[in-house]
Structure 1
Amino acid sequence: MSETEFLDLANSTLNSIEAALDRANDADIVDVECTRSGNVLEIEFIANGSKIIVNSQAPLQEMWVAAKAGGYHYKRVDNAWLNTRDNSELFAVLSELASGQGGAAVTLRA
């Protein structure tokens, strides 16, 4: 994948995450605020002030996630972002992390 293709895909992924969390916030599922600065999406859970950071790493063609539970790296494989260690899928893991940090069941989909 070219760098331009990666950047387009990464931007689309960040947009999808932000939109899903905005919908969850609007539906009163979780009180969350998303802030976007370039390739970095900061997700803040208002009730406890905890954060999840999602960003793209163009040189490595990876998406990175930093959360209370740890740090994760994802590569694009067969139309999905898969964890470089255990092959877990980005949106599934983000759903678990957001549910844990937000205190309510949050489901994010690609």
Structure 2
Amino acid sequence: MTETEFLVRADKILDNIQDQADEWFEHLDIDVDANREGQVLTLIFNAKSHMVINAQTPLQEMWLAAPSGAFHYRLQGEQWVNTREEGPNLDEQISILVSSLTGQPLNVRI
């Protein structure tokens, strides 16, 4: 995949997550603030717990950092898979983490 193709995919992922966070705030009364600067999206839950999702363009990876740890994902086929260990795909991991941080089951679509 070219750098441009990666950036298009990364932007779509970050836009989708930010849109969903805005929906959680507006429709589910979840205290979440979504801030985007370039290829970095920061979600702040209850004004204290941070989750950061960002594009690592040179590696063509999406990185995720949360209170419970850091994760790296690379596109394989149509799935963003964990590069460090066997585990949930990117969307599944984000869903697990935001559900834990909010105390509500949330299904993130990337």
Aligned residues between the structures: 109
CA deviations 1:53-104 (Å, max 9, x no partner) are 0000000000000001100000011112111121521111101100111222
Aligned to 1:19: 19
2:61 is aligned with 1:62? yes
**Which ranges of structure 1 fall in alignment gaps of 5 or more residues?**
none
Please identify which structure carries the higher helix content.
Answer: 2
Distance 1:34 1:96 in 2: 18
SS in 1 for 2:12: helix
* Cα distance in structure 1, aligned partners of 2:29 and 2:70: 25
Shift of the alpha carbon at 1:30?
Answer: 2.0
Question: Relative contact order (C-alpha < 8 Å, sep 6+): which is higher?
Answer: 1
Q: TM-score, normalization: structure 2?
A: 0.92
Specify the code of the residue in structure 2 equivalent to 1:101: L
Distance between the aligned counterparts of 1:44 and 1:16, measured in 2?
16
Which residues in structure 2 correspond to 1:1-110 (within 5 Å)?
A: 1-46=1-46, 49-84=48-83, 85-110=85-110
Query: Deviation of residue 29 (structure 1)?
Result: 4.9
- Runs of 4+ aligned structure 1 residues displaced above 4 Å come to none
How far 1:27 sits from its partner (Å)? 1.3
Distance 1:49 1:39 in 2: 22
Output the amino acid matched with 2:34: C
Residue 96 of structure 1: SS of its match in structure 2?
A: helix
